[in-house]
Amino acid sequence: MDATVGTTTLGDAAAARGGIRRRLFGEGPHGSDLNWALAFLVPYVAVFLLFVLYPVGYALWLGHHPESYRELFNDPIYLKTIVNTLVYLALGVNLHLFGALMLSGFFTRTNWRVRSLFLVYILPWAVPAIPTFIAIHWMLNGEWGFLNNLLYAVFGIDGPSWLNYRWLALFSSVGAYIWKWMPFWTVIFLAGRMAIPQELYEAADMDGAVGIKRFVHVTFPLLANLYLVCTLLSTIWTLGDFNTIYFVTGGGPALSTHVLATLGFRDAFEVDNPQLGMAAVLSALPLLIPLVVILMRKLAKTEVQI
């Protein structure tokens, strides 16, 4: 009796394990195939846990105190930082993506002069960011910077102290950001344009759609989805951009050009309050999460879209 019960129980357990396995792996690999699959999977899972899940979890844990947010909202520069972040996003993302879209049209030309110019044009993207932004900081120096010396040498005028006024300093940073990243997006849009079948342009030509009409009625509708995905991606990257502001303005003058990424760094490592710094960074989540969700939905579409 006991033996029968035992056999039945073991059989049930084996069936249950099989069920779990089927649920986990479907009708996928079994036996040595499964072992190989696990052998390949485990390192990736370990790396993901160690370098993605753990740091994100730790960051969330550091920034979970309500007191940190109370302190953050009481910081007199926080509101200014939010405004700066939104201005930086609105200008930085839209100007450089629109510029990239336009320039990608120019760079579709195939003559050697344009190709040579393209090589020069993508250089800012290719050079390391930090020395570039430090160089821009020096170029914008009011007394001995390259820009003002050029203005003096060519026009005989003393240029402004570019980094001494909030909006001028912030726009200078936006300019540096656009200069650095526009080439990258130009390459993306150039690839997008090259994927548009030539027959469509030939048909549009026959219908009389040339010049701006061709762009409005053919090119842009076909690139619209790519443009939207690039905008979302660029917004996420720009929101996390630290180097430009930190090395071009340093958050100055008088802490007036900080964005959330640089404020978070200042609070964590200059004020020596990592919890506050993390709260500053996490306060961007209400904007960041919807962007990521929309981006994931756009990327999850199965049909091929340019």
Partner 1 sequence: MSGIDRRTVLKGSLGVAAASALARPALAKGQTIKVWWNQGFYPAEDAAFRALVKDWEQASGNRVELTLLPGQALNEKIISALTSGDVPDVMYADNAPAQIVPQNAWKGRLVDVSDIVEKVKSSLSPTAIQSAQFYNAEEKKRGYYGVPFKGATLNIPVWKSLIEKAGYKMSDVPKTWDKFFAFFEPVQDKLRKKHMRHTYGLGYTLSTTGDDPNNTFNQLLVGYGGGGIVSPDGQLHTKDPKVRKAVIDTLNSMAVPFKKGYVPPSALNWGDPDNNNAFHAKEIVMTPNDTISISVAVMDNKKWYYDEIATLQLPLDNDGKQVPALLGVELAFIPKGAKNIEAGKDFISYLVQPKHLGSYLREAKGRWLPVMPEIVHNDPYWLDAKDPHRPPAVRQGVLGPTLTWFYVFNPAYAQVDAEHVFSVAAADIINGMSPDQAVDKAFSRMEAIFSQYQIPHQA
Of 108 and 273, CB closest to partner 1: 273
Q: Which residue of 2, 40, 43, 74 would you call a contact of partner 1, by CB under 8 A?
A: 74
Using CB under 8 A as the binding rule, whether residue 159 contacts partner 1 is answered as: no
Q: Which residue of 95, 250, 287, 306 would you call a contact of partner 1, by CB under 8 A?
A: 250
CA atoms within 13 A on the CB side of 55: 5
Residue 151 and residue 157 in contact, taking contact as beta carbons nearer than 8 Å: yes
CA–CA distance, 24 with 198 (Å, rounded to integer): 46
Structure tokens at 12: 């049930």
Using CB under 8 A as the binding rule, whether residue 259 contacts partner 1 is answered as: no
Q: Per residue, what are the HEC states of 23-38? A: HHHCCCCCHHHHHHHH
Of 240 and 250, CB closest to partner 1: 250
What's 158's DSSP letter? P
Residue 240 and residue 287 in contact, taking contact as beta carbons nearer than 8 Å: no
Q: Which residue of 82, 228, 274, 291 would you call a contact of partner 1, by CB under 8 A?
A: 274
Q: Which residue of 42, 254, 285, 293 would you call a contact of partner 1, by CB under 8 A?
A: 254
Compute how many other C-beta atoms are within 10 angstroms of the C-beta atom of residue 53. Answer: 12
Structure tokens at 129: 């960011």
**Binding segment for partner 1 among 46-54, 81-89, 249-257, 288-296 (CB under 8 A)?**
249-257
Structure tokens at 89: 């996003």
Using CB under 8 A as the binding rule, whether residue 12 contacts partner 1 is answered as: no
Q: Residue 3 Cβ, how far from partner 1 at the closest point, in Å?
A: 55
- Using CB under 8 A, which residues numbered 170 to 199 contact partner 1? none
Please state whether the peptide bond connecting residue 253 to the residue before it is cis, i.e. omega within 30 degrees of 0: yes
Which of these, 197, 223, 230, lies nearest to 299 by C-alpha position? 230
Of 40 and 144, CB closest to partner 1: 144
CA–CA distance, 176 with 106 (Å, rounded to integer): 22
CA–CA distance, 48 with 293 (Å, rounded to integer): 20
CA–CA distance, 89 with 291 (Å, rounded to integer): 13
Using CB under 8 A as the binding rule, whether residue 62 contacts partner 1 is answered as: yes
Using CB under 8 A as the binding rule, whether residue 253 contacts partner 1 is answered as: yes
Using CB under 8 A as the binding rule, whether residue 144 contacts partner 1 is answered as: yes
**Binding segment for partner 1 among 48-56, 97-105, 264-272, 292-300 (CB under 8 A)?**
264-272
Q: Which residue of 252, 287, 288, 295 would you call a contact of partner 1, by CB under 8 A?
A: 252
**Binding segment for partner 1 among 44-52, 208-216, 244-252, 291-299 (CB under 8 A)?**
244-252
Using CB under 8 A as the binding rule, whether residue 141 contacts partner 1 is answered as: yes
Which residues have a Cβ under 8 Å from the Cβ of 161 and sit 6 or more positions away? 142
Of 231 and 273, CB closest to partner 1: 273
Of 138 and 220, CB closest to partner 1: 138
Q: Which residues bind partner 1 (CB under 8 A)?
A: 62, 71, 74, 76, 137, 141-144, 161, 163-164, 249-255, 268-274
